[in-house]
Amino acid sequence: MLCSPTMTEASHIPIPDSSVPGIIWPAIPKLNSNILLTLLFQLEQSQWWTPERLRAAQFRQASHLLRHAFESVTYYQKRLGEAGFNPDTALDEESWLRLPLLKREDIQQAEKKLRSRALPKAHGKTTNIVTSGSTGTPVKLLGTGLTGIFWNLFTVRDFFWRRCDVSGTLAAIRYDRTGSAPYPDGVVLPNWGPGFASAIPTGPSKFLSIEASVAQQAEWLARQDPDYLITHPSNLEALIRHCSEEGIKLPSLREAETLSELVPPNLRALCQEQWHVPLVDMYTTQEAGYLALQCPEHVHYHIQSEHVIVEILDENGRPCAAGETGRVVVTDLHNFATPLIRYDIGDYAEAGAPCDCGRGLPVITKIHGRQRNMIQLPDGTRHWPLLSYDKFIEFAPIKQFQFVQKTLEIIEVKFVTGRPLNSEEEARLRKLINSRLGDAFDLQFTYHDEIPRSASGKFEDFRSEIEA
């Protein structure tokens, strides 16, 4: 079909909660839901803009970000100055490509010099973000209240794009930062999270810490009987295989959604064959939020151009053509606390041709990011490898790491460090890692100049050498 889609075909947005007694339609939204709904209204239209119109709007927004960074961030004053940047000249494709790239190592070195001295109050409170990204290279930066709103906004867009029935039950099995959702109960929320809470009525969501073993997760899931499930690809694969072996059924499930790791080539088919539901993936980063969402009509991804400029660059720093694979370089258009301008996040991706769904948002066909294996404890149980990576840089000058499970008892921990670690730092790291693993392993620390990606482009931050 070549006819252009309409907004009603595009998404499936329920009527918001109304704040006025007796008025349910059209709803009079609550004051605190207005920000999200007005943003959503704009996104509903901008997704159909032409690529040229989207690009022009991005450059206008980026010029505000660049001026702010140039004037209030020590690191950019120097770097942009050296690159001949002039805040009064309008951006175009060529001047954009002349801006310097920001590497993960640059963030590690610049530390506070990358923070704005003049964050406008309206951006809200700052929050700490620590992440090892896709290449085991930890960085620390600040987010803001506003970047949090954009996170919620794209969470909501994702569900509406796929026409999810948000009155159903959503189950999530993922990292539990606060330790609030342990097995056997997990935690029940009355809605699908903060993006929906203030704006749009939903069914409940149920959350379990990914620290639970695969068998425990499967048992918990069967009790919840969810309509939708969100988890990591490596964990999903283990769950599907376990449920098949044990004859565990999830009769209400309509979709499985994955995040933050590479989807292995066989997993979409496995999900369809064993659970009879589609797998839907998204591309997010802790540092810059949502980069891309899966097209509602295809298995490729649309860049979320209203929030980020995502470039895919070849070896010469030029944009890749459709079908070519290159480095992923990201600009967060809205983080004014730690501006990330042309940030080389360490992933590789394949650029795609424009999509026939009609959206002007550029296409990524494949992402070559992080891959994880499951960890196996000496008692034979399998777990997602939760190892408190985010705390590493608080304990020692760690530039990169990788875990390799050698046997049921031995894990090699590879480190790239700024200087040799002292015995106290080693002891603290050993204690931190062991505390997450029940003191079950002999940890062997080894030191390296760098830890490369595999030949296929993926980076395995937890690799298992035990036969499955």
Residues near Zn ion (CB under 5 A): 295, 355, 357, 359
Q: DSSP character for 1? A: -
Distance, CA of 247 to CA of 49 (rounded, Å): 47
Query: End-to-end alpha-carbon separation of the chain, Å?
Result: 45
The two three-digit tokens of residue 415, written as one number: 């480190």
Which CB atom, from 236 or from 349, has the smaller least distance to Zn ion? Answer: 349
Distance, CA of 240 to CA of 214 (rounded, Å): 10
Report, in Å, the least distance between residue 301 CB and Zn ion.
9
**DSSP states of 86-127:** -TTSPP-HHHHHTSPPEEHHHHHHHGGGGS-S---GGG---E
Write the CB contacts of 266 (distance below 8 Å, at least 6 apart in sequence): none
Which CB atom, from 341 or from 363, has the smaller least distance to Zn ion? Answer: 363
Cβ–Cβ under 8 Å, residues 382 and 376: yes
State the Rg of the chain over Cα: 23
Which CB atom, from 299 or from 408, has the smaller least distance to Zn ion? Answer: 299
Distance, CA of 75 to CA of 32 (rounded, Å): 36
Report, in Å, the least distance between residue 28 CB and Zn ion.
34
Residue with tokens 């409940």: 204
Which CB atom, from 170 or from 364, has the smaller least distance to Zn ion? Answer: 364
Report, in Å, the least distance between residue 124 CB and Zn ion.
32
Report, in Å, the least distance between residue 1 CB and Zn ion.
13
The two three-digit tokens of residue 139, written as one number: 């960085």
Which CB atom, from 239 or from 308, has the smaller least distance to Zn ion? Answer: 308
Which amino acid, residue 310? V
Which CB atom, from 232 or from 359, has the smaller least distance to Zn ion? Answer: 359
Which CB atom, from 33 or from 294, has the smaller least distance to Zn ion? Answer: 294
Report, in Å, the least distance between residue 296 CB and Zn ion.
7
Distance, CA of 329 to CA of 327 (rounded, Å): 6
Which CB atom, from 355 or from 416, has the smaller least distance to Zn ion? Answer: 355
Q: What share of the chain is helix, strand, coil (3-state, %, to 5)?
A: 30, 25, 45
Report, in Å, the least distance between residue 364 CB and Zn ion.
11
Which CB atom, from 355 or from 408, has the smaller least distance to Zn ion? Answer: 355
Report, in Å, the least distance between residue 352 CB and Zn ion.
9
Distance, CA of 208 to CA of 220 (rounded, Å): 8
Write the CB contacts of 424 (distance below 8 Å, at least 6 apart in sequence): none
Write the CB contacts of 205 (distance below 8 Å, at least 6 apart in sequence): 169, 170, 171, 172, 188, 189, 191, 192, 193
Which CB atom, from 299 or from 440, has the smaller least distance to Zn ion? Answer: 299
Burial class (CB in 10 A: 0-12, 13-18, 19+), 263: buried
Report, in Å, the least distance between residue 231 CB and Zn ion.
24
Which amino acid, residue 149? I
Select from 191, 193, 283 the least CA-distant residue to 233: 283
Report, in Å, the least distance between residue 151 CB and Zn ion.
22
Distance, CA of 40 to CA of 15 (rounded, Å): 13
Report, in Å, the least distance between residue 357 CB and Zn ion.
3
Report, in Å, the least distance between residue 290 CB and Zn ion.
16
Distance, CA of 85 to CA of 77 (rounded, Å): 9
Which CB atom, from 3 or from 118, has the smaller least distance to Zn ion? Answer: 3
Distance, CA of 265 to CA of 398 (rounded, Å): 32
